[in-house]
């Protein structure tokens, strides 16, 4: 089996032989090349030849060589690739005999940030507020909330709250509540600008 590997820092061609190809037993590994710039994509060619791509300063070059002659002469026997993988001993099991208490999400569920918000409001005004969110460490509870107030006397508080509970796996339970203000209509004057004389504004609640 031919392949290219950069285990030494540059890509070289290796050949893997097995005493029993059916079970991959008795593996021996030989390095067939020692190109400073690297040798890539070895492919068995008809007969006893192997084709590979060599990288040089002026680009890539395709060449062929006698695979068996190379492996019998200039090939270097190297350790099996499986022997080059570093092995680390497994950490011993740790037994904790400390007190066990029920899981409480509150310490990690509390919000850790808030972001200021500025949105357009009624009658060319603005709504200034903030938003935040939070979730517990195991992802059982999560929420997001926002609240804003108008910069003029058109309307009132605008906000929303969304809560999601995933403790059952499936289904996931979600609760939402929000409040907004909208214009229902108004009375305009007969002047060219049609100045509003009266306007009806109503809260819009959703659950």
69: left (phi over 0), alpha (psi -120 to 50) or beta: alpha
Tell me: the pLDDT tens digits for 99-110? 888 888 888 888
Contacts (Cβ under 8 Å, ≥6 apart) of 124: none
Angstrom distances, CA of residue 194 to CA of 183, 191, 202: 17, 5, 22
Q: What is the pTM of this model?
A: 0.45
Q: What is the C-alpha separation between 37 and 56, in angstroms, rounded?
A: 6
CA proximity to 33, closest of 22, 42, 46: 42
Residues pairing with 126 in the sheet: 120
Domain boundaries, the chain: 2-82, 106-206
pLDDT in tens, 32-50: 887 888 888 888 777 777 8
Per-residue pLDDT at 55: 84
Distance CA 65, CA 200 (A): 89
* Per-residue pLDDT at 72: 45
pLDDT digit of tens for each residue in the chain (207 aa)? Answer: 788 888 878 888 888 877 777 776 777 888 888 788 888 888 877 777 788 888 888 888 888 877 655 444 456 777 766 655 566 677 788 888 888 888 888 888 888 899 999 988 877 788 899 999 999 998 899 999 999 998 887 778 889 999 999 988 888 999 999 988 877 666 666 666 656 555 555 555 555
Other beta carbons within 10 angstroms of residue 125's beta carbon come to 14
């Amino acid at each position: 089996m031919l392949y290219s590997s950069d285990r030494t820092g540059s890509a070289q061609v290796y050949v893997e032989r097995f005493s029993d190809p059916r079970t991959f037993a008795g593996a021996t590994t030989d390095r067939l090349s020692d190109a400073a710039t690297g040798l890539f994509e070895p492919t068995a060619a008809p007969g006893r030849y192997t084709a590979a791509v060599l990288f040089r300063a002026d680009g890539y070059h395709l060449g062929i060589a006698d695979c068996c002659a190379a492996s019998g002469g200039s090939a270097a026997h190297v350790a099996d690739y499986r022997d080059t993988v570093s092995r680390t001993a497994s950490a011993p099991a740790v037994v904790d005999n400390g007190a066990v208490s029920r899981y409480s999400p509150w310490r990690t569920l509390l919000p850790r940030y808030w972001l200021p918000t500025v949105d357009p409001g009624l009658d060319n005004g603005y709504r200034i507020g903030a938003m935040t969110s939070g979730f517990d460490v195991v992802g059982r509870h999560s929420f997001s909330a926002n609240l804003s107030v108008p910069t003029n006397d058109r309307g009132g508080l605008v906000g929303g709250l969304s809560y999601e509970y995933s403790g059952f796996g499936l289904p996931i339970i979600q609760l939402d509540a929000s409040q907004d203000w909208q214009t229902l209509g108004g009375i305009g004057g007969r002047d060219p600008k049609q100045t509003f004389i009266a306007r009806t504004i109503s809260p819009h609640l959703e659950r």
